[in-house]
Structures are given as structure tokens and as C-alpha cells.
Structure 1
Amino acid sequence: MPIAAAIGTKLAVGMVGASVVGGALSSRAQRKSANAAANAQIEASEMGVEEQRRQFDAVQKILKPYADAGLSGLSGQQNLLGINGAAAQQAAINNINNSSEMQTYLQQGENAILQNASATGGLRGGNTQAALAQFRPQLLNQLINQRYQNYAGLTSLGQNAAAGTGNAGMQTASNISNLYQQSGAAQAGAALAKGQASADMWNGVSGAIGQVAGMKMMGLF
């Protein structure tokens, strides 16, 4: 083999070898970078998911007392309406009738009736006795209505708390879904980048081989 041809062959082999080594190193670096970028995105997404869950748990914990109060208010309303049975209704009414609030207002009201009757000279009249007889059931009915409205306020508070928890849950689910989509996109992007790096490496090798073949056809070695 002529010296020039031998030298040309060695140069050609060297070119192919350099292309293969360079392409492999470049491909490896690209794959490594793609993995690093994907792992960073996945880690950030996981941290975001955990933070979203932590925030939802905090919101749920804050709103729980209000939701519990709402359940208590709803139960009180149902008792007064008889929804939970006659026994529960009677127990709720008795609780109001025997309350210190009832006794205080009853005493004040009866004293006012008696003082008015005494001032007008009708202390022993039928009107006074009728007023005394009617005052207690009227007062009880008024306090029952007031208690029901108080329960309604608690029920409304619980409804708002439950709605707030539900909205927070839906927002958390949406945010977590978005984070997982970002994580999936990062993994897909890394896979594509690694595939492209491998393709570029083999394209480089093919190009080097083609260049050598062209040189040989031209009689350069």
C-alpha cells in the first residue's frame, strides 16, 4: 500500500473514531443535562404537591370548628322542629322552659304585670290573672323562636365553612393536577432530549463515515 494511501486510511479511521468519541461524549452530556433538568422539575413539582396538601390541611383545620358548630346548630333546629322525633322536640322545649333565661324573663314580666295591676287597683281582677296565665306560654314561644334563629346562625356559619373547605379542596386538586402535568411534561421532555441526543450522535457517526467514503471515492487515499 502506498505511503500516501496508508496515511489517508489512518486519517480516515481517526476521523471516524474522533466523531464516534465526540458524539458519544456529547450525547452523554446531553442526556445527563436532560435528566438533571427533569429531576429538578419533578422535585419542584413534588414539593409543590406537598405544600398544596399542607395548605389544604391547614384550611380544613381552621374551618373545622365552624363546620362542627354548624352541625350542632342544624341538630338544634331539627330538634325544635320535631324532625328528630317527638321526644327530642319535647326535650329541647323543656330545656328552654327550665333555662335561667326563661326564669329571669318570667319573673321580670310577672312582676311588671303585678305592679301595673297594683297601681291601677286591679290586682285581684280577672284581667290580671288572665295576663299572668298568658304571659308564660307567650314568653316560652318567643324564646323558642329566638333559640331557633340562634341555631340558624350557627347552621349558616357551618354551611359557609363547609363551602370554604370544598372550594379549598377543589382548588388544591386543580393545583396538584397542574403540578403533576408539569412533572409528566418534564419527564417526557427529558425522554425526547435523550432520544435526540442519541440520534444526533449516530447522525454524526454516519456523516463521518460518509465523508470518509467520499474522500476514498475521490481518490484522496
Structure 2
Amino acid sequence: MGLFGSLIGAATSIIGGNAQKKAASKAADAQVKAAQLAIDEQRRQFDITQQNFAPYLGAGTSALGQIGALLGISSPGQTDWAAYVQGNPDALANWNAIRGTQSDTFGGDIAAFGKYHYDKDGARRDLSPYTSGGSDGIAGQQAAIDALKASPLYTSLIRNGEEALLSNASATGGLRGGNTQGALANFRADTLAQVIQQQLANLGGIANMGQGAAGSVGTFGANAATNIGNSMTQQGQALAGSALARGGITAGQWKAAGDGLESLISAFTGGGGVKI
């Protein structure tokens, strides 16, 4: 090939390579944008699904709390360990002494230090000022039973049942007898037990519904996470492919430029003469 041919070939190779690099960049951008649209749609759908299931999750959580109350189950409170450290001068002094030093094995987390400090020296500490939530099982159970006894269902059952018992006793002449008084007392106790059992069954159904909702949201979220991860992988592959393609094209351009330069040098140094 003559000198001019080599130079023209090198120039066209460089120009063509630039066009290829632009095309590779545009293709990668298009793939990245398409994957991002898929990611955004997955997140949007998850937010909608989570919002739709929120009432069932809330109802199930509330029902579970009421079941625990009726059964007299105590629930622990949440301790603010950072507030615990701030509220105990010796703990705070220890924290200030180690914070930011090699002795700080808590990563600068004052709450983690507070939990550690209490476990090591907690016998004389009162956590109640730093604890919120939780419930006393006995007190909670009594409150739940009192609420049931005040409910329209229970009061209606008691009123109608006692009226029936008294009417029957009056008709048989045993209105003031001991049997009637015992029947009334037993009726109240039996009715309360039945109402409690029925309430537990109703709450159990709602709690199960909430559990099912939580499972559905969890499954949908896991699928969304998988799909989003796949889309992110596609983004990475598109960018990587573009980078590799552009790198290969650039290498070809440098080779074409080198070949043209070599021909030019050879022509001027007598390496075969100039051929037009």
C-alpha cells in the first residue's frame, strides 16, 4: 500500500473508531436507562403493595397485642442505652475516657457501650427512666377482662341471660332460693369465660390474617429485590461492555495511527521510497 493509502487508512480507521465509540456509549446508556426504569417500577410496585397490605399488618399486630393482654403475657420495654449512659455519671465518664481511643471496641456506638456497661455493672441500676413501652402481664390482663365486661356483647348476654333465669325462677316460685342465686353467679362466670374464648378466637383470626399479609409482603419484597438486583447487574454489564468496546476500539485506533506513522517514517528514511 502507498504512503497516501496508509495515511488515509489510518485516518478513516480513527474516524470510524470514534463513531463506533459513540455508538457503544449510546447503546450502553440506553441499556442503563431501560434497567433503571425496571428498577424504579419494581420499587413503585413494592411501595404500592406494602401500602395496600398495611391495614392488615396493623390489624394483625394490634390483635397479637390484645391476645397477649388477655393471656396475661408481659412484654419487655425498649431501653435507650445512650440515655442510660448520659444519665449515669460514672458510665458517662468511662465512655468519655475510651471514646475515640484504641480501648473503644464499640465502634463509637454509645448505645452498645451502655448495654455492655449495664451487663457488667447492672445490679444497682434502675432502667425504668430509660425504658419505654412494655406491659405488666397481670395488670394488662385485668384491664383486658374489664374492657370485655364493659363491652356491649358481654352486657347484652348478661342482661338477657339473667332476665331469663329470673323469669324462670319467678314462674317456679324459686326467685329467692339459693339455687337461683348460685345459677346467677355461675352464669356470669360462664358467660365471661365464653366471651374471653370467643374474643381470643376472633383475635387469633385477625392475627393470622396479619401474619399472612406480612408473608405476602415479604415474598413480594424478596422477588422485587431479586429483580432489582438483576437489573443492576444488567446496568453493570452494559457499562462494562461499553468500556471494553471503547477500549478495544481505542487500541485499534492507536494501531492504525502507528501503522500510518510507520509508513510515513519509512517513506522519508528510504525504507522503500514514496509510492503514490
Which band: TM-score by shorter chain?
0.7 to 0.9
Equivalent in the alignment of 1:3: none
Equivalent in the alignment of 1:6: none
Equivalent in the alignment of 1:57: 47
Greater CA drift, 167-176 or 116-125: 116-125
Equivalent in the alignment of 2:156: 104
| Gap regions ≥5 residues in structure 2 | 75-136
Residue 196 of structure 1, CA deviation: 2.2
Equivalent in the alignment of 1:31: 21
What is the root-mean-square deviation of aligned Cα atoms in Å?
2.5
Residue 126 of structure 1, CA deviation: 3.1
Aligned letter for 2:35? S
Residue 205 of structure 1, CA deviation: 5.2
Equivalent in the alignment of 2:11: 21
Fraction of identical pairs, as percent: 41
Residue 191 of structure 1, CA deviation: 1.2
Residue 183 of structure 1, CA deviation: 0.5
- Which of 153, 161, 168 is the aligned partner of 1:116? 168
Aligned letter for 1:194? R
**In structure 2, distance between residues paired with 1:76 and 1:162:** 18
Greater CA drift, 30-39 or 114-123: 114-123
Task: Name the CA shift for 1:27/1:219 in 2 (closer, same or farther; >3 Å).
Answer: closer
- Which of 126, 140, 146 is the aligned partner of 1:88? 140
**In structure 1, distance between residues paired with 2:180 and 2:274:** 135
1:75 equivalent in alignment to 2:127: no
1:12 equivalent in alignment to 2:7: no
Greater CA drift, 26-35 or 116-125: 116-125
Aligned letter for 1:71? T
2:3–2:274 CA contact under 8 A, matched in 1: no
1:23–1:202 CA contact under 8 A, matched in 2: no
1:152 equivalent in alignment to 2:204: yes
Question: Equivalent residue of 2:2, what SS?
Answer: helix
- Which of 131, 141, 144 is the aligned partner of 2:183? 131
Q: Deviations for 1:145-181, whole angstroms, at most 9, x for unmatched residues?
A: 1111111112112111211221122111111110010
1:53–1:172 CA contact under 8 A, matched in 2: yes
**In structure 2, distance between residues paired with 1:161 and 1:129:** 48
**In structure 2, distance between residues paired with 1:53 and 1:99:** 43
Quick check: which one's helix share is greater?
Answer: 1
1:16–1:205 CA contact under 8 A, matched in 2: no
Count of matched residue pairs? 209
Q: Deviations for 1:9-61, whole angstroms, at most 9, x for unmatched residues?
A: xx822111111111011101110110000001111111211111111111111
- Which of 213, 216, 237 is the aligned partner of 1:161? 213
| Gap regions ≥5 residues in structure 1 | 1-10
**In structure 2, distance between residues paired with 1:220 and 1:13:** 6
Equivalent in the alignment of 1:8: none
**In structure 2, distance between residues paired with 1:170 and 1:21:** 53
Aligned letter for 1:83? I
Equivalent in the alignment of 1:44: 34
**In structure 2, distance between residues paired with 1:81 and 1:124:** 37
Aligned letter for 2:38? G
Equivalent in the alignment of 2:82: none
**In structure 2, distance between residues paired with 1:24 and 1:130:** 106
**In structure 2, distance between residues paired with 1:220 and 1:114:** 129
- What are the within-5 Å matches in structure 2 for residues 192-207 of structure 1? 192-204=244-256
Aligned letter for 1:28? N
Structure 2 length-normalised TM: 0.68
1:175 equivalent in alignment to 2:165: no
Aligned letter for 1:130? G
